[in-house]
């Protein structure tokens, strides 16, 4: 039977608070002996998602809500805000980034979701005018 740990964390949308969330995620991954590379990928995905929520959500409560669920073989993270949501056009546009032959201005930002999709094993984005939840799973690499 696997040992399961669940942590709920709410952080204010202040500079560098995403680092507290990333530290929590990395501590849980290290607890379950994830590789150093996997821990770094988890940290980056958490940081990117929290920064996106802080910069784009326009939420009245100015909070980011994070749920961590770690088992022996994977870490699931759900990061939510109560902001304005992500438009379908924006989500579709992020899926196109990295498409061969598609010209993009490399000076522009907005690659967070693409990075998260590349690093995590599963990514689900749910959005409405009442907020957005980005859920991702990192499976423990075999030793």
Would you state the pLDDT for residue 90?
61
The two three-digit tokens of residue 27, written as one number:
């501590």
DSSP state letter for 83: S
Q: Is 50 helix (H, G, I), strand (E, B) or coil?
A: helix
Output the pLDDT for position 102. Answer: 39
How far is residue 35 from each of residues 14, 38, 40, 124, 142, measured CA to CA in Å?
A: 30, 5, 9, 23, 9
CATH class, 5-100+107-139 region: alpha beta
- Cα separation, 32 vs 29, in Å, equals 5
Q: What is the pLDDT of residue 107?
A: 44
Q: Low-confidence residues of the chain, pLDDT below 70?
A: 1-2, 88-110
What pTM value is reported for the model? 0.84
Residue 110: per-residue pLDDT: 61
- Residue 77 has what pLDDT? 98
């Amino acid at each position: 039977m696997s040992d399961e740990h669940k942590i709920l964390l709410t952080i204010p949308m202040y500079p560098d608070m995403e680092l507290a969330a990333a530290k929590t995620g990395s501590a849980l991954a290290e607890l379950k002996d994830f590789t150093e590379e996997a821990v770094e990928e988890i940290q980056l995905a958490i940081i990117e998602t929290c920064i996106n929520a802080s910069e784009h959500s326009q939420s009245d409560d100015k909070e980011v809500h994070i749920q961590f669920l770690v088992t022996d073989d994977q870490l699931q993270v759900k990061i939510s805000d109560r902001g304005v949501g992500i438009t379908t056009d924006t989500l579709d546009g992020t899926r196109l980034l990295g498409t061969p032959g598609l010209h993009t201005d490399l000076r522009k930002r907005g690659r967070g979701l693409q990075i998260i999709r590349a690093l995590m094993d599963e990514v689900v984005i749910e959005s409405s005018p009442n907020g957005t939840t980005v859920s991702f799973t990192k499976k423990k690499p075999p030793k």
